[in-house]
Amino acid sequence: MHKTFISGKMAAGCAAALAVGILAVANPVKAAEMEGLDMSTDYPGVTVTAGETVSFGLDFTSDESCDAALSVESIPEGWEGYFQGGDNLISRVHIDAGAAELDSDTDLVTFNLTLPEEVEEGVYTVELQADAGAGETDTLELEITVNEQETGQSNFTAEYPEQQGASGTSFSFDATIVNNRGTEQSYSLSAEAPSGWTVSFTPSGESSQVASVSVEAGGSLGMTVDITPPESVEQGEYTIPCTAVSASDTLDMELIVTITGTYGVSLSTPTGNLSLDAYANAEESVTLSITNTGNVDLSNLNLTSSAPTDWEVEFDESTIETLEAGATQEVTAHITPTSDAMTGDYVTTITVSNDEVSSDAEFRVSVETRTSWGIFAAAIIVVLLIGLRVVFKKYGRR
């Protein structure tokens, strides 16, 4: 009979080898991962609706740099799936050694999956494979749950979708896009406004207008929708449909703008002449022509003036209680220059206004010397000349 003896080191080595073997048998997944190629995605299970296109970002790791062939190993009948890298369809991918893509915000490969419109509700699986050759392969199973409706539909809404104001007013609406899809969505923004109107979209917290925005999966984005009607817009209610369109959604929102009226007033004279002659300390009257140029009635129009110091300006009617749209009313202004006003031109400004409108007219007032004073002065001069002549004749001969 023979006995075999094993040293302590040999026993320890055998025990370690046996432990590794047992672990490999007990956990075949871990053993497979030791082969070095791994394909993964952050969200391998999603819920979608029939007819939808969903995208999966794929990450890859490998112990050694390699080129891997990509394929769809199993997919439900009628479904379509393809791999995309950048803007191109791809069938192979180069993987650098290590985990280069784990620290990147951009996925190395995107797998796009489109469901048919008539697919029934249920749970479906799609299996992808990456094959680097020499037995280095990895598979990824995607679980797709199809529901008639997703929990919480994506939407495009405004906090206060109806506003009103007078013509010349710009309107700002606070709106929000909610993306309840399982993937990030890029939305193109547009609006159907009447001719001459302008509509712009500005994301919250930014100053630049945009034509498209991206909203992360399950996220939302606030924005301001600015609407400016033309100056000549007529009174009435206007509906402006706004749309946010992505590859998976068409989100609609209606904004309503009510133009309450066009306010306007003008101040002039019946002839359009804005100049007059006056004399110091003498009242001069001028007829004012006040016209409502808007399409709504104006109330409580007040007449005020700005004249040189110590001048007086009075109106026979300083307040017009109501001036109907398109109507004209005449008011007389009485202007009295101060008694010590020198000969020359002066400016007097007359204003008509209320809470909605205002209009100014500048009058050039020419202050003149009265003719009677001129005659009196000339007479004095003549008398003086005659007196000088008499004195000259009487004393000039001596």
Tell me, what's the pLDDT at 238? Answer: 96
Arithmetic mean of pLDDT, 43-63: 90
Burial of 392 (0-12, 13-18, 19+ CB in 10 A): exposed
Q: Is 94 a residue whose pLDDT tops 50?
A: yes
Tell me, what's the pLDDT at 397? Answer: 55
- The 10s digit of each residue's pLDDT in 302-323 is 999 999 999 999 999 999 999 9
Arithmetic mean of pLDDT, 94-104: 67
Q: What whole-number distance in Å separates Cα of residue 260 and Cα of residue 362?
A: 31
Q: Is 359 a residue whose pLDDT tops 50?
A: yes
Structure tokens, 70: 């990509």
Q: What whole-number distance in Å separates Cα of residue 176 and Cα of residue 189?
A: 12
- The 10s digit of each residue's pLDDT in 230-248 is 987 888 999 999 999 998 8
Q: What whole-number distance in Å separates Cα of residue 131 and Cα of residue 370?
A: 112
Checking 199-202 for CB contacts under 8 A at 24+ apart, the result is: 199/225, 199/226, 199/227, 199/228, 199/240, 199/242, 200/225, 200/226, 201/225, 202/226
- The 10s digit of each residue's pLDDT in 176-194 is 999 988 788 999 999 999 9
Q: What whole-number distance in Å separates Cα of residue 346 and Cα of residue 337?
A: 9
What is the distance between the terminal CA atoms of the chain, rounded to a whole angstrom?
A: 189
Q: What is the mean pLDDT of the chain?
A: 85
Tell me, what's the pLDDT at 13? Answer: 38
Q: Is 276 a residue whose pLDDT tops 80?
A: yes
Tell me, what's the pLDDT at 180? Answer: 87
- If you ran DSSP here, which 8-state letter would residue 12 be given? H
The per-residue b/e assignment along 369-387, b for 16 or more CB within 10 angstroms, e otherwise, is eeeeeeeeeeeeeeeeeee
**In which residue are the tokens 């939302």 written?**
220
Q: How confident is the model at residue 268 (pLDDT cuts 50, 70, 90)?
A: very high
- Residues with Cβ < 8 Å from 92, sequence gap 6 or more? 67, 68, 69, 70
Tell me, what's the pLDDT at 247? Answer: 86
Measured CA angle at 247 (ends 246, 253), to 5 deg: 30
Arithmetic mean of pLDDT, 263-291: 95
Selected residue with higher pLDDT from 134 and 288: 288
Tell me, what's the pLDDT at 393? Answer: 73
Q: Is 2 a residue whose pLDDT tops 60?
A: no
Assess contact for 244 and 187: CB atoms under 8 A. Answer: yes
Q: Quick one: what percent of the chain has pLDDT higher than 90?
A: 64
- Residues with Cβ < 8 Å from 252, sequence gap 6 or more? 156, 241, 242, 243
Q: Is 377 a residue whose pLDDT tops 80?
A: no
Strands 45-48 and 137-146: parallel
Q: How confident is the model at residue 354 (pLDDT cuts 50, 70, 90)?
A: very high
Q: How confident is the model at residue 20 (pLDDT cuts 50, 70, 90)?
A: very low
Tell me, what's the pLDDT at 243? Answer: 97
Q: CA 97 → CA 11, 65, 107, 132, 149, distances in Å?
A: 37, 4, 16, 13, 42
Q: Is 17 a residue whose pLDDT tops 70?
A: no
Q: How confident is the model at residue 262 (pLDDT cuts 50, 70, 90)?
A: confident
Q: Is 125 a residue whose pLDDT tops 80?
A: yes
Residue type, 223: M
Tell me, what's the pLDDT at 273? Answer: 95
- If you ran DSSP here, which 8-state letter would residue 210 be given? B
pTM exceeds 0.75 for this model = no
Helix (H) / strand (E) containing 378: helix 371-396
Tell me, what's the pLDDT at 256? Answer: 97
Q: What is the DSSP string of 167-192?
A: TT--EEEEEEEE--SSS-EEEEEEE-
Selected residue with higher pLDDT from 207 and 376: 207
Burial of 251 (0-12, 13-18, 19+ CB in 10 A): buried
Arithmetic mean of pLDDT, 268-283: 94
Strands 328-336 and 185-191: unpaired
Q: How confident is the model at residue 261 (pLDDT cuts 50, 70, 90)?
A: confident
Among 16-30, 60-74, 263-277, 360-374, whose mean pLDDT is lowest? 16-30
